[in-house]
Structure 1
Amino acid sequence: MSYVSEYPPFSVTADIAVFTIRDGALSVLLVERAKDPYAGSWALPGGFIDPDEDAETAAWRELQEETGLERAAWHLEQLRTYTAPDRDPRGRTVSVAHVALAPDLPDPSAGDDAADARWWAVDDVLEPEEGEALALAFDHREILLDARERVRAKLEYTTLAAAFVAEPFTLAELRRVYTAVWGAPPDLGNFRRKVLGTEGFVVPTNTHGTSSGGGRSALLYRRGSATTVSPPMARSTASDAG
């Protein structure tokens, strides 16, 4: 018995906002689209989900095809689903968006599906000090705004900041993650109390890094098994710091 749905079919894509810290700034990976729609515009890596794939598999595949970056021990989580009827001029398309982050990610190389690929400071894309914000394809500006806020918020109540630093790391390097993501440094005393007072946030290695100032070098740490910070760490903003 055949079954004909009364609902029209639609396509599903997977998009991924990949964050890292570069030159002290929260940075996102964007690709320049080689084909219409939006040829020549910048966008998040992503594409259509194949019939035999789930959304996460498709996100990683598209990332590799468009940027040359291979999946590694990154943090990845699903952000949300974007369903506006007119979000794609090719027809009704639903996007399952993801957030990924990792430390010290290399420069990408554009693949067959992209004209170019590069890291952008998120603030230069969304809120540049001079000129207009970068016009992203589709609804990717909305996705990027949501992804940035997800990361900002999770740094308050989770240990996610440690996923941005390569091991081993100093507390100063970890604090610079909060500065990059929040746009202002967290209060030093509160930061140290939260990080060192949360069991399993960081684990001391009993070794010290190289000192550049002649004094005693800082203790090195690695990531611990803790995932939450309770009570949350107060988020800093640029206005707080000013």
Structure 2
Amino acid sequence: MAAFPVFAVTVDVVALTIRDEVLSVLLVRRGEEPFAGRWALPGGFTRADEDLEHAAYRELAEECHVTRDDLLLEQLRTYGAPGRDPRPERVVTVAWIALGAHLPEPTAGTDAAEARWWPVEEALSMPLAFDHAQILADGVERARAKLEYSTLATSFCPREFTLRDLRRVYETVWGSELDRSNFQRKVLGTEGFLTDTGRYAEGRRGRPARLYRAAGIQGAVLHPPLLRG
């Protein structure tokens, strides 16, 4: 029986949040070779007794001190092109996207020199390590596309939020301004999207705005979808 070549498996995470009304991604500056000094997505090798999803959560906990309750995590895709990692052993990575509201300031892990949030548009233009520029681009497009047909946008909101807060999420992630009246009509007319708390936001100018919560499961399918344009 022919022996199959041995390869390593890693996880890489496209962690997205909104900071100062800008869609931002978590990057770490590598402290070790390969690509020492280059910015990269947080990630690392999976342990022999470790589930892939658990590995993704562990890497995020090490870099950003977040837990499962802080974000929505889902698998993006697998990247395994020969030569994507310059190390002698072939390395296949399982990429994930992680979305959360007001995620904390990161701290560099054991093999990173620095960690920080970067505006997505700036990060997309950077020479990231490995094939992380492609993984980042794929993750950002996945997030933008999923906002059209799922309740994913609520992952970027606090537990209770106004319609303006939610609209600003769409505008920030999509990079385009939305008509307020049309957006409100579509959102409130979509069953299973929002739950009215019966309360109002305090400390804001003008007429108090109603507070809502996500209804049901984050990422549930929307029908009809909210289209970008």
Q: TM-score range by the shorter chain?
A: over 0.9
How far has the Cα of 1:124 moved from its partner?
A: 1.2
- Which residue does the alignment assign to 1:190? 182
Give the structure 2 partner of residue 231 of structure 1: 224
Where in structure 2 are the equivalents of 1:100-115 lying within 5 Å?
100-115=98-113
Rounded to whole Å, the distance in 1 between the matches of 2:225 and 2:9 is 36
Shift of 1:71: 1.4
Give the Å deviation of 1:211.
4.5
Determine which of 13, 17, 27 is the counterpart of 1:16. Answer: 13
Match of 1:153 among 136, 141, 145: 145
Residue type at the aligned position of 2:222: V
**What is the aligned partner in structure 1 of residue 192 from structure 2?**
200
Give the drift of 1:68. 4.2
Give the drift of 1:117.
0.4
Is the 2:64–2:105 Cα contact (8 Å) retained in structure 1? no
Q: Partner of 1:112: helix, strand, or coil?
A: coil
Q: Distance between the aligned counterparts of 1:184 and 1:211, measured in 2?
A: 27
Q: Percent identity?
A: 54
Could you tell me how far apart the structure 1 residues matched to 2:128 and 2:96 are?
17
- Report the CA distance between 1:187 and its aligned residue: 2.8
What does residue 86 of structure 1 align with? 83
Q: Does 1:70 align with 2:61?
A: no
Aligned partners of 2:108 and 2:2: how far apart in 1?
40
Distance in 1 separating the partners of 2:189 and 2:67: 33
Would you say the 8 A contact 1:211–1:218 is kept in 2?
A: no
Alignment length, in residue pairs? 225
The Cα of 1:59 is off from its aligned counterpart by 1.2
2:226 partner letter: M
What is the deviation of 1:5? 4.4
Q: Is the 8 A contact 2:66 2:103 kept in 1?
A: no
Cα shift readout 1:177-232 (whole Å, capped 9, x = no counterpart): 0011100123323311221011221111111112432x221011111016221121
Say yes or no: does 1:140 pair with 2:136: no
Cα contact 2:64–2:104 (8 A) shared by 1: no
* TM-score under structure 1 length normalisation: 0.89
d(CA) in 2 for partners of 1:220 and 1:235? 24
Which residue identity does 1:69 align to in structure 2?
A: H
Whole-angstrom distance in 1 between the partners of 2:59 and 2:223? 36
How far did residue 63 of structure 1 move?
A: 2.2
- Look up the equivalent residue of 2:82 and give its one-letter code: P
- Structure 1 gap ranges (5+): 127-132, 237-242
What letter matches 1:56 in structure 2? E
Which consecutive unaligned segments of at least 5 residues does structure 2 have?
none
What is the TM-score of this pair, normalised by structure 2? 0.94
**Pairwise CA RMSD of aligned residues?**
1.3
